[in-house]
Every structure is written in C-alpha cells, then in structure tokens.
A and B are shown apart, each in its own frame.
Chain A
Amino acid sequence: MNSTQILLWDVLPYVTIAVFVVGMLWRFRYDKFGWTTRSSQLYERSLLRIASPLFHLGMLAVVAGHVVGLLIPESWTNAVGVSEHFYHLNAVALGAVAGAATLVGVAMLVYRRRTTGPVFAATTKNDKTMYVFLLAAICLGLVATMTGAGVLGDGYNYRETVSVWFRSIFILQPQGELMADTPLAFRVHALAGMALFMVWPFTRLVHAFSAPLGYLFRPYVVYRTRSASTAGNRTPRPGWDRTNA
C-alpha cells in the first residue's frame, strides 16, 4: 500500500468523522437559528408533493440499505442461512427501487429548484454546492451498485472488502489495504460519501438530524417557565454562562 492509499483509506475516514462530529456540535451551538432546511413549499407545492416524499423515503431506504450492507458481516447472514446469491438478489431488487425513487425524486427536486422562479431565487450558493456533493454521492452510489450487481462489469462482492474496511474504521483498526483493490466505482463512491459527510455540518443537510421523534412522546401542549440557567434579557453566549457564585 502506498502512502496515498494510506491517506485515503486509513486517515481520511477519521478526518471525515472528526470534521463531521465537531462541525455538527459547532453548528448546533452557534447556529441553532439557521438549523432548518428552509422549506420552499410556500412557493411551489405540486411538484414538491410528489418529489419530496419520493426522495426522502427513497433516501431512508438507501440509508437502511447501507446499514445492512456495511454493518452486518457476511458471516452473520451466512450463519442464518441467507446465501450470497439470495442476499444480493434482494439487495439489488430493493436497492434498485430505493435508488430509482431517490434518483427520480432528486431529479424532480433539482428540476423544480431550477425552473420555479421563487425557489431558484431562494437557492443559496451553499445549497448549490451541497447539491453537487449530494448528487455526486447518489450517482456514484448507483454506479457502484450496478458494478456490484454485475450490470456493469463482472459483479463484485463488496461485503468481503468494502464492508470489512468500513467496520474496521469504527473498531479503530483501519484496514485500508482492503479498499486499495476494490473496483474504481466503489472507491470513488466512498470518497464522494466522505466528502458529503464533511460538508454536511455546514449545509442545510443538518436538518436530517432534527427528525422530531420526540413528538411521539411529549404532551401535546408545551408550557415553558423558569429556566434557572438563563437570566436577564439575553441568553448568555457560549463560554459566558453564568455561574452561581
């Protein structure tokens, strides 16, 4: 393994994690007010009505697919009697549906964003940059999927290399050498994914982490009263919190 490969597959993942985690914490602390995705439903809703759920639900399925494919070792699925062939058949079938929904959804969203005047006017440079990263990750992911499934090339069992590498990062024993020889599509997709996670905290994508699951458990009407930590007219700036001294 040469030094570039070490940098890409052993070092970069940790840089990504660091940027992502620190970035998210920083953003949450300093920019709660900007923590939203600035819905454009008010401007246009007929396209959004179809495209947004299509994209988001597709994306959730894609995320679930990644979790299963990357986190669950092949030996486990083998142990419960799921053959490699059967696994991939399912993965490709479900993945194709989810991937297609995501792709069609995001295509409609981008089309809508570009062609609906008010929506385009409300699109910031930050948003455009984010779209590049997001689209790159999605499209390269589809290419990788097709490569794995044998639609492009001879097929490839990523669960023996990519997944093992992915898990090795989180147990702090990175095996970058596993990635070095994978098909190009997987490597590029992994890089695009890491790039996406690095820009994540600084874009509107942060809204993914405000999925309001607490809504299911809280009382309907919220009352707010005395909060001991704040006093006066202004919430203290981080680092200037009041002491009880």
Chain B
Amino acid sequence: MKVMAQMGMVMNLDKCIGCHTCSVTCKQAWTNRTGVEYVWFNNVETRPGLGYPRTYEDQETWRGGWERTRRGRLRLKGGGRFKKLASIFSNPKLPSLDDYYEPWTYEYDTLISAPLGEHTPVAQPKSLITGKPMKIEWSANWDDDLGGGPEVISEDPVLVKIRDQVADRVKLDFENAFMFYLPRICEHCLNPSCVASCPSGAMYKRAEDGIVLVDQDRCRGWRMCVSGCPYKKVYFNHKTGKAEKCTFCYPRVEVGMPTVCSETCVGRLRYLGLFLYDADRVLEAASVEDEQDLYRAQLDLMLDPHDPEVIAAAQRDGIPSDWLTAAQKSPVYRLAKEFEVALPLHPEYRTMPMVWYIPPLSPVVDALVETGHDGEDARNLFGAIDSLRIPKEYLAELFTAGDTDVIDTVLRKLAAMRSTMRDVNLGREVDVSAAEAVGFDESTVYELYRLLAIAKYEERYVIPAAHSEQAHELEELGCSLDFDEGPGMYGSGPFGEASGMPVPVAVENFHALKQRQTSEAVLDTGNKRGRVNLLNWDGKGAPAGVFPPDPGKGS
C-alpha cells in the first residue's frame, strides 16, 4: 500500500441553479487573456445538452480516455505511444474552434463615436480570432436551459446512448422536458489520460496533492493532451501554443483557501477536501473488466483515514499529520465513501476522476406535489424515483456507466434524508424506517443533512495548507509570461507573443493587488485611459489605465 493524498471536489447537483457564477469568476481569475478566450476551466452544462466542446462525451469520435484491451491491459483509446508519435504532425482528434466556438467582442466604440443619425448605433460582434465582423452562431452555453430545443438537445451523446431503453420517457418537447445542471472542472484524475498522452512529459500530477498541472516551460504544444482528455478539460492556448487547464486554483489551495469556483458558488454546492488513496492499486482498479464495476473499484481505492493501519502507512509515506487530520474531516471523503452519495462523472473513461457529483433529486418532489401526493413522504418518494422526470438511466449513464441500481440507492438515500428531516422540522415523531431502509440511522441522517443542507463554510472546505517545509515542492512551475524586467505578463518577448521567462501566478497576482491597493482612485479617472471594459479585455498586454502606474517607479 502506498498512501497518497488527493484534493477532491464534490458537487451537489440538487442545489445547482445554473447561474454560471463559478464559470465567470473562474474565467476572470484564470482565462481572461488572449489565446484562451474560448477556454472555460469551469463551465456549467445543461443536461441533456451537447456539452462543451460539443459532443465531447462521444468517445467513439474523440477517442479520449482509456480502454481495456482483451488481455486486460489499459491502453489509451486514442492510440499508444507509437501511434501518438506517428500522428504528431497533425493531431487527428483535436476539436477545432468550431467545436468550441469562435470568441468575439463587440464594437463598443461605435456606440459613442457614431455620428448623429436616425438610427441607434449598434455594437457589432467582432471576432477575437480574425478581428473581422462575424456572425455569432454558437458559444460556450448556446444550449443553456435546453436552448435550441429538441433538434439540438437530441444530439446529446448520453441521450443517444440511452434513447432505445427509455424512448418512452425521454421527452424533449417543452412541457415534458427535463433538465439539470452539471458544473464541470478538470477531474484531476488518479489515472489521468491527458498526462499519459503528453509526448513531452510536460503534464504531471503533483505528488503532494494530486493536482494535475501543465509545465508551461516543457509543453511543446503537441496538443495530444487535449485529445487524450475524455472530459476535454485541457485546452490549447492558440496564442502561446501551449496547453492550459484547470489548476484547482492551486495557489489558493496551497494556503488553505477554496478554489475560486467553490468560493463564489452562490448555491454553496461545492465541497473540497482530501482523499487518501492507495496509489499502488490505481491501475488495477482502472482495469476492472466490467465498466459498471469501475465506480466500486474507485471507491475501494479511497482509504479510511481513521483506520490505524492507513494512518501508519500514511505516516510512513510522508503525509503530514495535519493533512491526516484534514483527511479525517474531509467532507468529500464523507460524501463519497461514508455516505456513498457522491458519484464520479463517467467512470467508464477509466481515468478515476476525482470530482464527484451528488445526483439531483429535486424535480421528483415537485412532480409528486403536482399530482396531489405528499412530495416529501418517503414512500411516495421511493416509488417516484423509478418514474423520475430525469430518467435514472440518464443519470446512470453519466455517473455509473449505466448501472441504475447505484443511482437508485443514492436517490433513495437523499429521499430518506428529506422525509426524516421533514418529521424533525414539523416536530412529528421521527419515522426512521425510511432511513433504515437505506442503511442510515438517525444520527447519520443528521450528519448528512448538516453537510448537505446547513453546509457551513468550514465544513464544506477542509483544506490543509501546504507545508512550509514542503513549500519548495509546490513551487509554481510557471503559468504566465514575463521577463526579468517585466512587471508580470505585460511584455512580449523577442520570439513572438508570450516568449520569455514565466512569472509565477502568485507573484503576478501580488503585483496586481499591490497596485490596486496602493492607488488612490478606484479607477484611474485622470484620463480616458481608464475606460477599459474588463469583461472584454482580451488580455493583450496591459491595457492603458487598467493597472495604475507603480508609484514606486513613477510614471
């Protein structure tokens, strides 16, 4: 047994209202730059829907993730090492910009500079790729809230898969449609196929906390990681020619702060914490024959941080004691392993993803109430799960490789919690039969309720800070762009944009923050240079007026 620590996330889909705050704040923090306009480290998809990039889940087309050979070995679905090298001059499975969308801005200037005329001036869309006027035909969220209707939605790869089984229950016409939201970040997999696909060896999994990162200095822009990732959560920066991906906000996590997406989630549906797992058995778990056993195999990898044997092994393997404590208090461990209500997304990709989801139950209650039933009664709820408006089969295809029994169990647990807590809230005698039916006792129900419904900040986020003695293990390996003399990412090197030495993100943020805090005005109103629309700042250099002059240097 080799114990390793892994930062993980759980999202409670029952609470996601699809407000996209996580996506927006993530974008502002990480991908508000030229070259990554189309990049969403965090995005929220409406399911059913095409996803981002479109139909990324169709692995017969995109060939991401792993597959099991007949002899029981794992191999990259996109082809082995030789095939990767043979196709290096033109990556055959790279989504094109059309599969994402062509990013754009608007000609805002027209609004104020147009001559007086009969008609109101219009800010025309302008491509951020070509700089030419363009017709907007798709975006990161074109099918948000089932936008586009049946003709778009019906191409959802998950829906295509289950269509035959549940044809009678999957209805896409307006009154009968179903939907829920699926926020996605990089899964920071235990068995990452993007890392395995990288010819340069630039992608790596941090041994300390399992966060998967791209070494910007070693990336040579072969783009195999983009093809290798079945979740398509590695993106290609078309300006710098390097891969970029969700960083799990490691500069924040290292100092004990939650990721930006978690921190800003208005629904408070994200949980962050540690898993301890047995690194020696990852490959074995990822290679189990039956896809539907993958969830269980992954769960079995997660070690019980209270087990004396695990504790001893963890200490032997260099896990600091406060990390052990954090692992014992980890909300993600409790939700995934103790309560078994959180499920991995698409375990059939065999990457052992470490972002887990609690499947949504909500619509069933409303549906029951509408039919005149008591929507919170356990018996009604249990019965209704089978006829959920969101078909179990659909959820199963997302979270358990099609095993509806697991989905059923999880939803029953959530339903039992609801009905038990309802008794408590109404001051009735607590009927524990529903809870017992799913293997919970009353106190377990309270604990689950506290974690899911009360969701205190410090209980949602149990993040042990990186150790000072470990600090140099966690050094930022370069995420951005500057030179010895440059104040951050504001320069351009002699070999085209973004060449030169990288500056650590924390340093860059530090300077930006310092400048903001030491300038007198909120905006530099002294001249017109202050007029910059930050939302559409394409990240090219330092737009005049965004960063006040450094008082230390004079202007």
**Using a CB–CB distance below 8 Å, which chain A residues touch chain B?**
27, 30-45, 48-49, 52-53, 55-57, 117-118, 121-122, 124, 126-127, 202-204, 207, 210, 212-216, 218, 220-227, 230-235, 237
Contact = CB atoms under 8 A, between A and B. Distances in A.
Interface in B327-363: none
Contact of A212 (B222, B236, B470): B222
Q: Identify the interface centre among A38, A124, A225: most chain B CB within 10 Å of its CB.
A: A38
A124 B204 CA distance: 31
Interface in B80-105: 81-82, 84-85, 88-92, 94, 96-97
Nearest to B130: A117
A234 B236 contact: no
Contact of B241 (A27, A36, A48): A36
A31 B494 CA distance: 9
Nearest first, the 5 closest Cβ-Cβ pairs linking A and B are A34-B499, A38-B241, A212-B199, A220-B196, A225-B207
B65 to A, nearest CB: 13
A118 B201 CA distance: 29
A43 B129 contact: yes
Contacts of B196: 220-221
B493 A233 contact: no
B172 interface: no
Interface of B: 76, 81-82, 84-85, 88-92, 94, 96-97, 129-132, 191-192, 195-196, 198-201, 203-208, 216-223, 236, 238-242, 470-473, 475-478, 481, 484, 493-504, 506-507
Given A34-B496, A41-B91, A122-B238, A221 B129 contact: no
A77 to B, nearest CB: 30
A226 B474 CA distance: 8
A210 B89 CA distance: 13
17 contacts: A33-B216, A33-B499, A34-B498, A34-B499, A38-B221, A39-B222, A41-B96, A42-B97, A42-B238, A52-B89, A121-B129, A122-B239, A126-B496, A204-B496, A215-B198, A225-B206, A235-B478
A232 B473 contact: no
Given A31-B493, A33-B217, A223-B204, A233 B85 contact: no
Contacts of B129: 43, 117-118, 121
Nearest to B97: A42
A121 B203 contact: no
B506 A233 contact: yes
A118 B35 CA distance: 12
Q: Identify the interface centre among B89, B219, B473: most chain A CB within 10 Å of its CB.
A: B89
A42 B204 contact: no
Given A117-B130, A230-B475, A235-B478, A224 B221 contact: no
A203 B496 CA distance: 9
Contacts of A42: 94, 96-97, 236, 238
A33 to B, nearest CB: 5
Nearest to A41: B94
B472 A218 contact: no
A52 B90 contact: yes
A210 B472 CA distance: 27
Contacts of A210: 200, 220
B217 A212 contact: no
The secondary structure that dominates the B interface is loop
A233 B207 CA distance: 18
Contacts of B96: 41-45
Nearest to A45: B96
A213 B107 CA distance: 47
A230 B474 CA distance: 10
Contacts of B201: 212, 214-215, 218, 222
A33 B476 contact: no
A233 B507 CA distance: 8
Contact of B478 (A33, A49, A124, A224): A33
Contact of A230 (B90, B191, B241, B472): B472
A34 B481 CA distance: 10
A215 B84 contact: yes
A38 B499 CA distance: 11
A216 B82 contact: yes
Given A53-B89, A221-B195, A222-B203, A32 B217 contact: yes
B555 to A, nearest CB: 26
B206 to A, nearest CB: 6
B496 A227 contact: no
A215 B206 contact: no
Nearest to B191: A221
Contacts of B206: 223-225
A223 B207 contact: yes
B90 A227 contact: no
A40 B96 CA distance: 10
Contacts of B507: 233-234
A151 B85 CA distance: 37
A98 B477 CA distance: 41
Contact of A45 (B90, B131, B239): B90
A216 B218 CA distance: 17
Given A45-B94, A126-B496, A216-B85, A40 B238 contact: yes
Contacts of A37: 220-221, 241
Contacts of B220: 35-37, 207, 210, 212
Contacts of B495: 27, 31, 34, 126, 202-204
Contact of A33 (B84, B207, B498): B498
Contact of A233 (B130, B192, B504): B504
Q: Identify the interface centre among B88, B90, B493: most chain A CB within 10 Å of its CB.
A: B90
Contacts of A215: 81, 84-85, 198-201
Q: Identify the interface centre among A32, A44, A121, A204: most chain B CB within 10 Å of its CB.
A: A32
Contacts of A57: 89
Given A41-B94, A223-B205, A33 B223 contact: no
Given A37-B241, A231-B475, 14 more contacts: A35-B217, A36-B219, A39-B241, A49-B92, A55-B89, A124-B496, A202-B495, A210-B200, A210-B220, A212-B222, A223-B204, A223-B207, A225-B208, A233-B476
A203 B129 CA distance: 23
